[in-house]
Amino acid sequence: MSTSCQKISVTLLFLLGFLSSAVSQVSQTTIYVPFTAGGTVDIFARVLSQELTKKFNAPFVVENKLGGGGIIATNAVAKSKPNGLTLLAFHQGIVYNSALSSNLPYDLMKDLVPIAIVGVTPNVLVVPSSAPYKKLSDFVAYAKANPMELNYGSAGVGSNGHLAMEMLKSAAGIKLTHVPYKGMPQAVADVAGNQIQAVLTTLPAAIPFIQSGKVIPLATSGLKRSSILPHVPTISESGYKGFIYEPWYGFLGPNGMSKAQIDLLSNLIVDASNNPEMANKLTIEGIEMRPTPHQDFQKILYEDYVKWGDIIGKLGIKGQ
């Protein structure tokens, strides 16, 4: 069978799944985003949804479904019909949730299936523009001289921003006070307003505030310097060699989806992520494109499940 015939066959199987759902005359795929609008997950999901709508010629609609640090949205997808009409946009934090709680209403490794990774986002440590410290070493020195005085924000216990900062605290030997928020946008805004003194957050969430001069970037957490902030050193090169934190962002669906559905969605997402115009939109937002198909994502998810379970256990962090 030719490649074109195989693609048509897979598409027909997927469409049959859509039609059997009898949801509507025109099938709509809902992408649940577990966080507030304006955050990194919301940004990449909305950009991808537009591209997927074009590619599949059927609507992909984003719905923000908040609560429980992503648990409510994840459970909604885990319990949904495995027909390809309900997807979850999330980041590496979905693994953290499993390590933080022993009584989740779903089992990550049994109830959900990884579809594709879009990219990764190194974090950036930002402080108010009026702060007396302009580089990471000065921030650490101040924190050591004034333990617990500096407040840092995150999107909640066990969130990306919380775990990243706890890792930095451990590496630097400093004590800070954690202030959890319902979403990272407000936390970054409060750094800009000097209500709190720092966040270690994703580049997309911080870039507008950096560009406006309301916050100062001290260091980024990736393997190498960000192409958007090439003048900002990494945490690793700032005295903490080997410190790398760049969580992935991708899509998952309910377990039970057919192989044809998973393969088609995975291919569509990877192809969309490789689209230069769309990739440029996300790169500008601070997402480093790293399109990864289903099978490779499945391996990464399992490895992270084991790795982060161990890290969170050693840090002694418990979910709320």
Give the residue among 174, 171, 178 at the shortest CA–CA distance from 145: 174
**Mean model confidence pLDDT for the chain:** 89
CA distances (Å), origin 156, targets 36, 120, 208: 12, 20, 22
Model pTM greater than 0.75? yes
Average pLDDT over residues 17-39: 69
Percent of the chain with pLDDT over 70: 91
Q: Which residue segments constitute the domains of the chain, with CATH numbers given?
A: 3-120+248-315 (3.40.190.150), 123-238 (3.40.190.10)
Lowest-confidence region among 78-82, 268-272, 308-312? 308-312
pLDDT for res 26: 52
**Order of strands, sheet of 123-128, starting from the edge strand that comes earlier in the sequence:** 177-180, 151-154, 198-202, 123-128, 215-220
Cα distances (Å, whole numbers) of residue 13 to 155, 259, 263: 40, 10, 11
Q: What is the pLDDT of residues 256-303, one digit of tens each?
A: 999 999 999 999 999 999 989 888 888 887 788 999 999 999 999 999
From residue 297, alpha-carbon distances to 64, 75, 110, 114, 208 in Å are 24, 20, 15, 6, 30
158 has pLDDT over 90:
no
- What sign does the CA torsion over 26, 29, 32, 37 have? negative
Q: Write down the pLDDT at residue 320.
A: 60
Looking at residue 155, its pLDDT comes to 85
Residue 265 CA to its chain's centroid (Å): 19
pLDDT at res. 319: 67
Residue type at 200 in one-letter notation: L
Q: How far apart are the first and last CA of the chain?
A: 53
The DSSP secondary structure of 48-95, one letter per residue, reads HHHHHHHHHTS-EEEEE---GGGHHHHHHHHTS-SSSSEEEEEETHHH
